[in-house]
Structure 1
Amino acid sequence: MTASVLTPQIEARFAAVRQLADAVLFEGYVLYPYRASAAKNRLRWQFGVLAPPDWGAGQGEHSSQRTECLLEPRGDAVLFAELRFLRTQRRTVQRADPPGFVTVAELELSDRVLTPWDEGVEERVQLVLPIADLAEQPRILPFSRPAGEETEEVRGQGGRLVGRLIRRRAELTGELRISCVELPGPYAVRKLTVEVANTADWQPEPDADREAALPRSLVSAHLLLGLDRGRFLSPTDPPEWARPATADCANAHTWPVLAGEPGSGDLLLSAPIILEDHAAIAPESPGVLYDALEIDEILTLRTAALTDREKREARGTDARAAAVIELADTLPPQVLERLHGAVRSLREITEPAAAADPDDALQRLLSPGTPWWDPEADASVDPQRDTVLVDGRAVGAGSRVVLRPGRRRTDAQDLFLHGRGALVEAVLHDVDGGVHLAVTVDGDPGADIRREQGRFLYFQPDEVALQAGEATVRPDGATPVVET
């Protein structure tokens, strides 16, 4: 077996997937507020950590991961594989103390604050293998990265030497173990198995902790696999005939899915987090924020609002953290507006309403070019005039009710509104046939602002009661009748 650089064609196809793979590789790399001193940045590297075998077994970490999937190669198909992982590079900060240097907890400069930190260096192991060769016997590819140390001078104003950074890397060794066997049956399908193992010959001290093991670990390890001829079968949604064989695939500590453009099957991403087939980065995302548990819009605004001292510390934490600060500080307003969100799962129906089936109420109410979820698509509903029965009486916009939120409410704060009076602002119908009352609470000093912005509280009809002596609203819009 010969490790090789990818062909230009495969390189271009892999490059299109690496943006998504980078989101896996660097997920959680550094979290808001992007400072090394922040508590949630002190326990890092949560995904795909392959630790040295003599340490990880008793510490809750694994030393290997296994990917199994089905593929249908054609002719003399060739498998292209790329293992990607981060290598932990430990950074020490020293202050100039002539005639030498002294290690410090931080070194403050005019534009940044430098602190000790574990930097992540991207590593790749690439290989090219004809499927026919794999059918003959499994292959093993050992790989290694040597230990190393680098020193970077730190200079302040006027070019004066104020300190230095020392970066140390431990030796890494590992193996890729690959096999591909043809399955019995009428289909020309094969099972591909790729194992990634940390083979570090490290004998840890009895009290060695995770911090000691990380420099010798493969962090965020994941695989990109490609075929030049043929296709991979979806591990999560295979053809019906392939479901039994897919169920027999044993994946350990990784989750393989189809990658690339929807409908294609020549690329597969096996990552340590759960993804869907043909996952992609949202086009609205302005850049890498490393903190996917947050909403981009909120995260960007909060980052821009950090103090100057906090931003300087973030810039000194890591080059990637510094890039996040720069992004938040320079994001144009039109780009920020895109972060409000987008609807992707709802399709637009553009056929003329006259051409629709008369028995299909939804289609009949749609106007040309109007999405079915748009309120303008259904002329039969009017939030300001519609009513709903509450205890047998019609309630609509302008009715006054008493709030009786039930225990099924997902927002526990609504229970504090129990017994409060409210004004019904609108009656809304959702696409699933549910009815909701939009209300403003009596005595809310911000009610006028909420009304102007269209921001209300929402309750279902069985969560309100009509206030005694209040007028109900007739379904035909006639003069209200006072109920006693």
Structure 2
Amino acid sequence: MTATTERDARFDTARQVADAVLFEGYVLYPYRASAAKNRLRWQFGVLVPPAWAPAHGEHSFQRTEVLMEPRGEATLSLELRFLHARRRTVHRRREDGGFDEVAELRLPDRILVPWDEGAEERVELSVPVASLAGDGLVLPFARPAREETEPVLDAGGRSVGRLVRRTAGAEGVVRVSAAELDGPYRVLRLTAVVENTSPWTPQDGADASREAALPRSLVAAHLLLGLSAGSFLSMTDPPEWAKGAVAACDNRHTWPVLAGGPGRADVVLSSPIILEDHPAIAPESAGAMYDALEIDEILALRTATLTEEEKREARGTDARAAAVIELAESMPPEVLERLHGAVRGLREITGPDAFDGPPALTEPPSEEAVFRPDTPWWDPAGADPAGPPPDRIPVDGVLVGEGSRVLLRPGLRRTDAQDLFLRGRAALVEAVLHDVDGGVHLAVTVEGDPGADIRREQGRFLYFQPDEVSPLEDA
């Protein structure tokens, strides 16, 4: 096989996830340009021109560092992928043959409107690992400015307008190097830096807006890295001897994970969206819906409920939006039913390790592995009938319940980033909740939150466990 064929084969599985990263938020439900959520797009992995970045809190570069153990004369394959925004305007044909730019062009099957499309771009590199020592390699790239015109024809083949797509120039550079580390094994730290080097300088006024910077930006930029021989080390679950070296890696605005399928370690996806090792697209997914933070079933059902006028605008917004409309309309009931839910990671436990309780999780499950308990792991009829659970619980020797004030002190265990921002804030306990496993949860609202009344009305609280709070003096 040629080097390109080998690279494509190695990246094939990882690219399915990379596509989801590339088009995350590209066009959101209800897939119309007029929808408010589609007026502020492209929030992940946007590398803006360096002259624009400092004053607007965005970045012009991303840096990936990962450890690898190459074997023999290994070759490193690198693929930078990003979207290049292009501005599309709509023009109506006049009777004299000229064209006027318009806000919309209505056709029987679609409504064409101005829109920013995204053209997929790739920068590819394949080099011996040995050539990356020292200063490594520098690969500059450029995408020139251009203008393209597409005629718009009616059902009879007559010209009724045109679409004009204008693409601004964008420039960048990829810097790749590798340094051998001291230790019991031969390990190299691979560093890959992607920079936007576009010389565009914003002027005062409208030209200084993000809308002006986007066409010169690298949008949803991410890297695929592959070794022809050898393996990468996991950044989230490295071997004990490598934990110090992994912790010393400096990743900026991106995060590398093992990709390419379970059990493989020769491919890495470095993405602006934090993923786990070996991410995968759910096999039940019938097609791309460009919103990986939503559930396909919900998106398919919502899309099917759009009015015909809304679907016409969606079809005219973007070819990918039109594909989503067609997918939702043509999805057979049995395919939609598959989206309703799937159970993964359960297996039957027999022998001395068998127990009555929730099913055990395994990684990865086999196709035939299922959990078949003789009785439900929780039976409401057999629940403890001793009365309602207590509405106040002891915390550090103080009874805490509805109306108590507590200090939030979430730890690293089972805590997400949003909880960590609340460390040290005072909160009001709204309720003490008990789950069927005997766990206790405190529903709270944060003091000073202007939306606290709305949270109470809707029952949308923040939840902490007793060991994540401390009672305040007046509790």
Common fold, TM-score beyond 0.5?
yes
Counterpart for residue 441 of structure 1? none
User: What secondary structure does 1:309 align onto?
Assistant: helix
User: What secondary structure does 1:35 align onto?
Assistant: coil
Distance 1:371 1:58, change over 3 A: same
The alpha-carbon deviation at position 7 of structure 1 amounts to: 3.4
Counterpart for residue 348 of structure 1? 347
Counterpart for residue 43 of structure 1? 40
Give the Cα separation in 2 of the matches to 1:273 and 1:254: 7
User: What secondary structure does 1:329 align onto?
Assistant: helix
Decide which of 73, 78, 82 is 2:75's aligned counterpart.
78
Distance 1:74 1:101, change over 3 A: same
Cα deviations across residues 208-229 of structure 1 (Å, max 9, x unaligned)?
1011111110000000000011
The alpha-carbon deviation at position 185 of structure 1 amounts to: 2.2
Distance 1:385 1:190, change over 3 A: closer
Give the Cα separation in 2 of the matches to 1:51 and 1:95: 33
Aligned-residue RMSD, C-alpha:
2.7
Give the Cα separation in 2 of the matches to 1:225 and 1:40: 33
Decide which of 44, 54, 57 is 1:57's aligned counterpart.
54
1:201 equivalent in alignment to 2:199:
yes
Distance 1:34 1:380, change over 3 A: closer
Cα deviations across residues 161-218 of structure 1 (Å, max 9, x unaligned)?
1110000111111100111000122210010000000111112212210111111100
1:282 equivalent in alignment to 2:282:
yes
1:371 and 1:377 in contact (8 A); partners too: no
Counterpart for residue 356 of structure 2? 362
The alpha-carbon deviation at position 386 of structure 1 amounts to: 5.0
The alpha-carbon deviation at position 31 of structure 1 amounts to: 0.3
Give the Cα separation in 1 of the matches to 2:278 and 2:140: 30
After TM superposition, list the pairs within 5 Å mapping 1:324-343 onto structure 2.
324-343=324-343
Give the Cα separation in 1 of the matches to 2:237 and 2:377: 39
Counterpart for residue 319 of structure 1? 319
Distance 1:240 1:101, change over 3 A: same
- Matched to 1:348, the amino acid is R
Counterpart for residue 304 of structure 1? 304
Counterpart for residue 165 of structure 1? 163
The alpha-carbon deviation at position 350 of structure 1 amounts to: 5.0
After TM superposition, list the pairs within 5 Å mapping 1:368-379 onto structure 2.
376-378=373-375
Give the Cα separation in 2 of the matches to 1:244 and 1:385: 50
The alpha-carbon deviation at position 98 of structure 1 amounts to: 3.1
Give the Cα separation in 1 of the matches to 2:292 and 2:158: 40
User: What secondary structure does 1:86 align onto?
Assistant: strand
Give the Cα separation in 2 of the matches to 1:311 and 1:320: 13
After TM superposition, list the pairs within 5 Å mapping 1:376-391 onto structure 2.
376-378=373-375, 382-384=379-381, 386-390=383-387
After TM superposition, list the pairs within 5 Å mapping 1:433-448 onto structure 2.
none
Give the Cα separation in 2 of the matches to 1:339 and 1:280: 16
2:12 and 2:260 in contact (8 A); partners too: no
- Matched to 2:352, the amino acid is A
1:350 and 1:371 in contact (8 A); partners too: no
Give the Cα separation in 2 of the matches to 1:391 and 1:292: 41
User: What secondary structure does 1:287 align onto?
Assistant: coil
Cα deviations across residues 253-288 of structure 1 (Å, max 9, x unaligned)?
001100011121100000001000001011111111
Decide which of 148, 151, 155 is 1:150's aligned counterpart.
148
- Residues 136-145 or 104-113, more deviating: 136-145
1:350 and 1:370 in contact (8 A); partners too: no
Counterpart for residue 242 of structure 2? 242
Cα deviations across residues 332-365 of structure 1 (Å, max 9, x unaligned)?
10010011112224x21153xxx335xx6439x9
Cα deviations across residues 61-93 of structure 1 (Å, max 9, x unaligned)?
111100001001111111000000000011000
2:62 and 2:254 in contact (8 A); partners too: yes
2:45 and 2:219 in contact (8 A); partners too: yes
2:85 and 2:215 in contact (8 A); partners too: yes
User: What secondary structure does 1:58 align onto?
Assistant: helix
Normalised by the size of structure 1, how large is the TM-score?
0.76
Cα deviations across residues 361-417 of structure 1 (Å, max 9, x unaligned)?
439x99xx9955x6x53379754455521169xxxxxxxxxxxx9789xxxxxx99x
Give the Cα separation in 2 of the matches to 1:324 and 1:429: 39
Give the Cα separation in 1 of the matches to 2:80 and 2:47: 13
Normalised by the size of structure 2, how large is the TM-score?
0.77
User: What secondary structure does 2:339 align onto?
Assistant: helix
Give the Cα separation in 1 of the matches to 2:190 and 2:39: 38
Distance 1:381 1:108, change over 3 A: closer
Counterpart for residue 106 of structure 2? 108
Give the Cα separation in 2 of the matches to 1:386 and 1:254: 48
After TM superposition, list the pairs within 5 Å mapping 1:440-479 onto structure 2.
none
2:172 and 2:197 in contact (8 A); partners too: yes
Cα deviations across residues 265-324 of structure 1 (Å, max 9, x unaligned)?
100000001000001011111111111232211111110110000000000000000000
Give the Cα separation in 2 of the matches to 1:37 and 1:386: 52
Distance 1:160 1:361, change over 3 A: closer
Decide which of 114, 130, 133 is 2:131's aligned counterpart.
133
2:106 and 2:112 in contact (8 A); partners too: yes
Distance 1:29 1:379, change over 3 A: closer
Give the Cα separation in 2 of the matches to 1:262 and 1:291: 24
Distance 1:237 1:162, change over 3 A: same
Task: List alignment gaps of at least 5 residues for structure 1.
Answer: 393-404, 409-414, 417-427, 436-484
1:370 and 1:377 in contact (8 A); partners too: no
Give the Cα separation in 1 of the matches to 2:152 and 2:376: 68
- Matched to 1:356, the amino acid is P
User: What secondary structure does 2:201 align onto?
Assistant: coil
Give the Cα separation in 1 of the matches to 2:286 and 2:176: 38
- Give the number of aligned pairs: 392
Counterpart for residue 415 of structure 2? none
Give the Cα separation in 2 of the matches to 1:91 and 1:218: 18
1:257 and 1:278 in contact (8 A); partners too: yes
Give the Cα separation in 2 of the matches to 1:218 and 1:20: 19
Give the Cα separation in 2 of the matches to 1:245 and 1:153: 57
The alpha-carbon deviation at position 133 of structure 1 amounts to: 1.0
User: What secondary structure does 2:334 align onto?
Assistant: helix
Counterpart for residue 31 of structure 2? 34
Which has the greater radius of gyration? 1
